Amino acid sequence: MTALPRPNSLSARDSKVLLHPYTNALANERDGPLVMTRGEGVYIYDEDGNRYLEGMAGLWCLSLGFGNERLAEAAADQIRRLSFYHGFNQKSHEPQIELAERLLDIAPDAMSKVFFCNSGSEANDTAIKMIWYYNNAIGRPEKKKIIGRIRAYHGITVAAGSVTGQPGNHAGFDLPIAGFLHADCPHFARMAEDGESEQDFATRMADNLEKMILDEGPDTVAAFFAEPVMGAGGIILPPDGYFEKIQTVLDRYDVLLVADEVICGFGRTGNMWGSQTYGMKPDIVTAAKALTSGYAPISAVLMTEQVFRGIAEGSDKLGVFGHGYTYSGHPVSAAVAIETLKIYQEMDLLGMVRAASPLLQAGIHQFADHPLVGEVDGVGMLAVAELVADRETNEPFDPARKVAPYLLNRAQAHGLIIRALGDRIAFSPPLVITGDEISDMFTRFAASLDDTQQWVEAGFE
């Protein structure tokens, strides 16, 4: 049982006043949260001074680690110079202009314009609205349906939550709303048929998508959303040939491809964009998280000239593109993002990731023979180990046993912060993590996994 928070501790104060995201509200009210107070590099400290290795880069975003002075100075300098301005009614400011220029310089091919938001959810929600607006503008008012994928994650606003394919994001919220569909989850290890190769599996996934489009009516289907690597769905890598085959179907029926790069963008997979790692050809790209290394909230929607031109002509007919946020392109967040991109260039981010990723992948694969571990997988600086009750059959644990939460608690006791996506244990450390720190991370995970094995073998007692 979790110890009750000390009276007047930050944890106790929190439990009296806050409703947390992605949290059992009654459990937090009863037990209080783990409260962090400072961070240095890849380590973070709680209110009692305990140190933890941050194995998830916060929420996939803290690429440069904690305490980067250049980013702090960039924010402070911009606050002094121009603390706020907006982009409404043909107004602008230098930071958002420069940031858009820098993004387009490194963007996947064919991107032409940038629209700024505040989070990945807002970026994907904005992309959906843009697609609807675009199809209205070019005379296709029936072409509005959006296809996501089962287990995919694209955010939690009403529209982004609808294209998300996670039951936990739908339950209790009356989601998904009408007009949102979900194609197969391309998890080869779990969903391949006996004797099916990755290429054959990818072909089946594309054939099923085509059938869905035909059943719905191609004139009604507007876009297909896909993360290059499914993040919150469990770090699921696409099978060989998958996106090439999917692209062929989308092209055949004039369905736009939206690449959700919120997790994969800015080096996480070993290229600047996950789209480049997997040969995707998006019409729209959404980005967030590592755009500022998590230091300030900002996100971006990048679009091709074709998409922009349709939106622009529609706005001329209607008199305005009636969408935007008070903090779209906020000058302080934009300044932090500019400095982040400068640091990435100076440090040779991609070179660092490509040097470190073999260590991360070797580290996760050392657990491939552990009695509790089934699939291990990863790419770049993403890795996953799946907990299973039976390695021979790949049978999962009964969710009621709460094996993954137990492991997370043991990891926390060993000074490691990681995340369970179902029974898939995710690793997404800061990109600046060193080889010694990767070794430290997996040493702590090994101890946590052994503790969990002992608990399971003792009958969950």
Predicted local distance difference test score (pLDDT) of residue 7: 79
What SS3 state is found at 417? strand
What proportion of the chain, given as a percentage, has pLDDT over 90? 98
Residue 260: exposure state from Cβ atoms within 10 A (0-12, 13-18, ≥19): buried
Question: Can you tell me whether residue 174 is helix, strand or coil?
Answer: coil
pLDDT of 340 higher than 50: yes
| 247 pLDDT above the threshold of 60 | yes
pLDDT of the residue at 273 = 98
Token digits for 344?
């990435």
Tens of pLDDT, residue by residue over 183-225, are 999 999 999 999 999 999 999 999 999 999 999 999 999 999 9
From the CB of residue 420, how many other CB atoms can be counted at a distance below 10 Å? Answer: 18
Q: What is the pLDDT of residue 3?
A: 61
pLDDT tens track for 276-332:
999 999 999 999 999 999 999 999 999 999 999 999 999 999 999 999 999 999 999
Distances, alpha carbon 1 to alpha carbons 33, 309, 406, 409, 432, in Å? 14, 58, 11, 11, 35
Q: pLDDT tens-digit profile of 265-274? A: 999 999 999 9
Q: Which two tokens stand for residue 177?
A: 């709303």
Question: Checking phi first, is residue 261 left (phi over 0); if not, alpha (psi -120 to 50) or beta?
Answer: alpha
Measure the CA–CA gap between 372 and 394, rounded to whole angstroms: 10
pLDDT above 80: residue 412: yes
Phi, psi for residue 293 in degrees, rounded to 5: 55, 25
DSSP E strands in 208-279: the ranges are: 221-226, 256-260
Tell me the C-alpha distance between 457 and 461, whole Å: 9
For position 461, what pLDDT does the model report? Answer: 87
Residue 50 DSSP SS3:
coil
Task: From 172, 123, 153, select the one nearest 323 (Cα to Cα).
Answer: 123
pLDDT at 333 over 90: yes
pLDDT for res 1? 42
What pTM, to 2 d.p., does this model score? 0.96
Convert the pLDDT of each residue in 420-459 to its tens digit.
999 999 999 999 999 999 999 999 999 999 999 999 999 9
Report, as an integer, the average pLDDT of 133-156: 98
**Across all residues in the chain, what is the average pLDDT?**
97
CA of 120: how far to CAs of 156, 165, 342, 353, in Å? 9, 16, 22, 23
Which residues touch 234 (CB under 8 Å, ≥6 apart)? 151, 187, 384, 386, 421, 422, 424, 426
**Domains of the chain by range and CATH?**
34-67+349-457 (3.90.1150.10), 70-346 (3.40.640.10)
CB 429 within 8 A of CB 441: yes
